[in-house]
Copies of this chain bind each other. A is one copy, B any other.
Amino acid sequence: MDCMPCFVRQALSAVRMVTDDTEAAGQILRDVLWEMSQMSTEQSPVVMAQRIHRLVRRLGGDVDPYSDAKDRCNRMALGLYPKAARLVRESSRPLETALRMAIAGNAIDLGPYQQVDLEQIERAITHAADSPLNGDFAGFAEAAARAGSILYLADNAGEIVFDRLLIEQLDPRRIVLAVRGAPVLNDARRPDAAIAGLTDLVEVIDNGSDAPGTLIDDCSDEFVRRFNQADMVIAKGQGNYESLNDADRDLFLLLQAKCPVIADKLKCPVGSLVVKRSGCGSGTESDQIVRDPSKASTGVTATPLEIPS
C-alpha cells in the first residue's frame, strides 16, 4: 500500500513523457488509477509497477516513454565515469571500491526519483566512496573468489556504466550480464549495455520480461536456466531486491535503499549502501570449487571506455 502514491507519481511522469496533450494525459492517468483499483495490495510492488508501466506504454501508443531519459542517464554516467574509475584505480581495495561505485550508480533510478541530475550522482559517488557498507561485503568477496560463473543482473540505464567497474574487477571472462527484456522505467536494456562498452566485454543476455525487477516466472526459459546454473548471482537495485530476496537460490543484492519502504524492510536508514546476501545459500557454506582468489580482485584489462566530450 505504501507504494501506491509513488506508483501514481511514476505513472504521471511516464504519461507526461508520452504526450503533451493535457486531456489525453488525464485520460491515461485515470485508466492507470482504475487499473490500480483492481490490484491486490498484497502482491509484489514489482508486479504492480509492471502492470502500471505496461498500461502507460500501451495507452501512449506502444512507445518507450523513458527512451530519451535513458539516453540522458547514460550520458550523465559516462561524464562521471572517469572520476569513479580513478577512485577504483587509486584504491588499495579496488574490488570494494568498484562495488561501492556500482552501488553509487544505483542512484540513477527514475522509480523512486522524479529526476536525477549530475550533481546528485556526483554526490552519490562521494557518499558511496566513504560511507558504511551495510551487509556482508566479506561474504560477497569470498563468494566472488570461489565462483566459476557469475550472472550479473543490471538495473538501470546510466547505472550500468558504473557496473562496468565492478565487472572489470570480477574478471569479465566468467560473467554473463542480464538486462531487461522490454522497456520499463529507465531500466537497462541491451543498447544501454552497449553504450557502457559491456557488449564487447561480456556476454549480454536479456531476461525476456518487462518487470522492473526479476520475476522468475515471467522470465525466458534461457534466462531461468542461466539463473539456476550460475555459481554466483549478483543483482542490482530495489526492484531486484523486492523480487529476488525470497528466491530459491543464494544471491547478492547490491543497492541503495532509496525509499522508506525498502529502508524499513532492510532495517537501515534511507540512503544506505547495501550488500545483502539472501536466498537459501545465505549463512551456509556452499560446496563450490575454490577458484584462484587472485583472479577475483584483479580483473582483466578491457577496451577503454569511450567518454563523450
Chain A residues packing against B (C-beta within 8 Å) = 1-2, 4-6, 8-9, 12, 22, 25-26, 29-31, 33-34, 36-42
Neighbouring B residues of A29 by C-beta, 8 Å: 1, 4, 41
22 example contacts (A-B, Cβ-Cβ < 8 A) are as follows A1-B12, A1-B22, A1-B26, A1-B29, A4-B8, A4-B29, A5-B6, A5-B8, A5-B9, A8-B8, A26-B40, A26-B41, A26-B42, A29-B41, A30-B36, A30-B37, A30-B38, A33-B34, A33-B36, A33-B37, A34-B34, A34-B37
- Among A8, A9, A22, A33, the one with the most B-chain Cβ atoms within 10 Å of its Cβ is A33
Tell me the dominant secondary structure on chain A's binding face.
helix
Neighbouring B residues of A4 by C-beta, 8 Å: 8, 12, 29, 33
Complex Cα–Cα for A2 and B2 (A): 18
Minimal beta-carbon separation of A22 from chain B (angstroms):
8
Neighbouring B residues of A25 by C-beta, 8 Å: 1
A5–B1 contact, CB under 8 A? no
Minimal beta-carbon separation of A70 from chain B (angstroms):
23
- Among A2, A30, A42, the one with the most B-chain Cβ atoms within 10 Å of its Cβ is A30
Minimal beta-carbon separation of A125 from chain B (angstroms):
27
Minimal beta-carbon separation of A95 from chain B (angstroms):
40
Complex Cα–Cα for A277 and B257 (A): 44
Minimal beta-carbon separation of A112 from chain B (angstroms):
12
